[in-house]
Chain A
Amino acid sequence: METQISNSSYIKKTALYDFHIARNAKMVEFAGWEMPVQYSSILEEAKHVRNGTGIFDISHMGEIFVSGRDRVAFLEYLTTNSIEKTAEGQMQYTLCCNSDGGILDDIMIYNLGSTIMCITNASNTHTIFMHFLTHSKNFNVTIEDKSREMSLVALQGIDAETMLEKIFERDFSHLFYMNLERFKFNNNEVICSRSGYTGEDGFEIYMDNMAARMFWNAAITDEEIKIVPCGLGSRDILRLEMGYSLYGVDIDTTTNPVAAGLTWAVKDTRKDFIGKEQISAAMRNGVPCKKIGFVMQEKSFPRHGYSVFSEAGKEIGTVRSGLYSPNLDKFIGTAYIQHDLAKIGTMIRIAIRDKKYSARVEKFPLIKPKVKRKELR
């Protein structure tokens, strides 16, 4: 057997680090943070979130605040989606691109009224902060990175709402998907949204570090509702079952949003923004390679970087994400392949060591999302 363990002495710890150590979590370095990848079993944790409720420490994610008179105009120019229709109390998924139309980060924007909170991937927080600063000169805005003073906890699963109401002693039944609320908890400011990266009903809760420790402890020690701490390993499975992109794996600075299937997060007719020219061109003319989701037809583990072939034996692309889904009992993945073979139902082959294994292009999500949406009237 060969195993590799990486060590680094300059790793950041979240405010919940001691809880993870006390639970014997397996810790790994992720984007400069020491994070729990699993507590007991990645597969068991991924199954638990679909059948019960899990809690995730995702404090490594970045929180960048944009305030000032021009905050909306500024973000309209720096992101692809349009936030003009995202009212106070709502959130939105958007992309921050470079002038070539490549994705610098996929971010979640929270309209908090006088300020806008941008949630970045941990690996990109500094890049996005600098990118914002660089482009802020012609705008009346103030940019603040509050990532180190804030914790972020995700509560995901069937009992998430009940647990949240129990801890905060508030009613969350009218908080719908992609909406947020702000309130005080023991004099600490809390921002809570109905959202997540798993497809299950759930919440993402932003608190200061002290409040996060109280919240985490209350959730995992509750005697009536079983809340299981889950690591980043299960989070990766859950997000891939839903087809959500993972930055650095599915998308990066070389990815045009059109190729990634993220055109829905681009509003190019409404406004001007960085990267618009290249993205609009891709929307008009198409792209040579597209992101697809696939399901292996036989047992074999598709991993990042493996080559993808057509049935006819031609090399047509590369695997990006790949893993075993315990909820489907199948190996699933994403790849970028030649656009004309990217149709749902197309059979492809993945080269794994010295063999090629059959896979089928599938429509994601593979699991129906259970989020509580506001009913349209």
Chain B
Amino acid sequence: MNEKDLKFTATHEWAANNGDTETIGISDHAQKELGDIVFIELPEVGKIVKKTESFGTIESTKAASQIYAPLSGKVIEVNTALTAQPELVNKEPYGKGWLIKIKVSAKDEIAPLLDFTQYSQSLH
């Protein structure tokens, strides 16, 4: 995925729209800050996540960090490849390192998210 097509949160998550579903991950900046990621705790399929609420934990050599949902919805898919290869989030934060896919319940939550330029500026 091209980072320019993604929407971001100030807490460093991203969301990629595809019809009714959104793919969610963490930003390249976030993975660099975290360092080597060694374990990721994600919700089960069917779980309801709420915008700005924690839906999982990323454990890196440096810290245990909460991941906050950029949007509300129901989890329809979880990236199971991360169980064996959590480092995919380091290597491809916008690709194979995605975390979950959700079916969005409130589409009006999408517009207020940051675009790539706004997000990049927020890092300075």
Which A residues have a C-beta under 8 Å from some C-beta of B?
1-3, 26, 38, 41-43, 233, 237, 299-301, 303, 323-324, 331, 353
Q: Which of B13, B39, B59, B61 contacts A1 (CB 8 A)?
A: B13
8 nearest CB pairs, A to B: A1-B12, A324-B38, A301-B59, A42-B61, A43-B36, A1-B30, A3-B33, A1-B65
Q: Which of A2, A42, A353 contacts B65 (CB 8 A)?
A: A2
Question: What is the total number of residues of chain B having a CB less than 8 Å from a CB of chain A?
Answer: 26
Cβ contact within 8 Å between A303 and B64? yes
Q: Is B67 an interface residue (CB 8 A)?
A: yes
Cβ contact within 8 Å between B26 and A323? no
Scan residues 5-42 of chain B and give those whose CB is less than 8 A from a CB of chain A: 11-13, 26-27, 30, 33-36, 38-39, 41
Cβ contact within 8 Å between B64 and A301? yes
Cβ contact within 8 Å between B57 and A1? no
Within the complex, the shortest CB–CB distance from B83 to chain A, in Å, comes to 8
Q: Is B80 an interface residue (CB 8 A)?
A: no
Cβ contact within 8 Å between A300 and B13? no
20 contacts between A and B (CB under 8 A): A1-B11, A1-B12, A1-B27, A1-B33, A1-B68, A2-B66, A3-B12, A3-B30, A3-B34, A41-B36, A42-B36, A42-B61, A43-B38, A43-B61, A299-B83, A301-B64, A303-B64, A324-B61, A353-B41, A353-B57
Within the complex, the shortest CB–CB distance from B66 to chain A, in Å, comes to 6
Q: Which of B13, B30, B35, B39 contacts A26 (CB 8 A)?
A: B35
Residues of A within 8 A of B39 (CB): 299-301, 324, 331
Q: Is B102 an interface residue (CB 8 A)?
A: no
Q: Is B63 an interface residue (CB 8 A)?
A: yes
Q: Is B71 an interface residue (CB 8 A)?
A: no
Q: Is B58 an interface residue (CB 8 A)?
A: yes
Within the complex, the shortest CB–CB distance from A161 to chain B, in Å, comes to 29
Cβ contact within 8 Å between A301 and B38? yes
Within the complex, the shortest CB–CB distance from B23 to chain A, in Å, comes to 17
| Complexed CA–CA distance, A301 and B57 (Å) | 11
Known: A301-B64, A303-B64. A1 touches B36 (CB 8 A): no
| Complexed CA–CA distance, A41 and B91 (Å) | 12
Within the complex, the shortest CB–CB distance from A229 to chain B, in Å, comes to 16
Cβ contact within 8 Å between B35 and A42? yes
The 8 A CB mask of B36-65 against A (1 = contact, 0 = none) is: 101101000000000000000111011111
Residues of A within 8 A of B83 (CB): 299
Within the complex, the shortest CB–CB distance from A358 to chain B, in Å, comes to 15
Within the complex, the shortest CB–CB distance from B17 to chain A, in Å, comes to 21
Residues of A within 8 A of B90 (CB): 41
| Complexed CA–CA distance, A352 and B11 (Å) | 23
| Complexed CA–CA distance, A42 and B87 (Å) | 12
Cβ contact within 8 Å between A323 and B61? yes
Known: A2-B65, A3-B33, A42-B35. 5 other contacts (CB 8 A): A1-B12, A1-B13, A3-B63, A43-B38, A324-B61
Q: Which of A2, A233, A237, A300 contacts B11 (CB 8 A)?
A: A2
Residues of A within 8 A of B66 (CB): 1-2
User: Closest B-chain residue to A1, C-beta based?
Assistant: B12
| Complexed CA–CA distance, A303 and B59 (Å) | 10
Cβ contact within 8 Å between A1 and B35? no
| Complexed CA–CA distance, A2 and B83 (Å) | 22
Residues of B within 8 A of A38 (CB): 35
| Complexed CA–CA distance, A42 and B27 (Å) | 20
| Complexed CA–CA distance, A300 and B39 (Å) | 7
User: Closest B-chain residue to A44, C-beta based?
Assistant: B36
| Complexed CA–CA distance, A300 and B58 (Å) | 11
| Complexed CA–CA distance, A3 and B62 (Å) | 10
| Complexed CA–CA distance, A43 and B37 (Å) | 9
Residues of B within 8 A of A2 (CB): 11, 65-66
| Complexed CA–CA distance, A38 and B34 (Å) | 12
Within the complex, the shortest CB–CB distance from A60 to chain B, in Å, comes to 19
Within the complex, the shortest CB–CB distance from A234 to chain B, in Å, comes to 9
Within the complex, the shortest CB–CB distance from B34 to chain A, in Å, comes to 7
Within the complex, the shortest CB–CB distance from B63 to chain A, in Å, comes to 7
Residues of A within 8 A of B67 (CB): 1
Residues of A within 8 A of B65 (CB): 1-3
Residues of B within 8 A of A43 (CB): 36, 38, 61
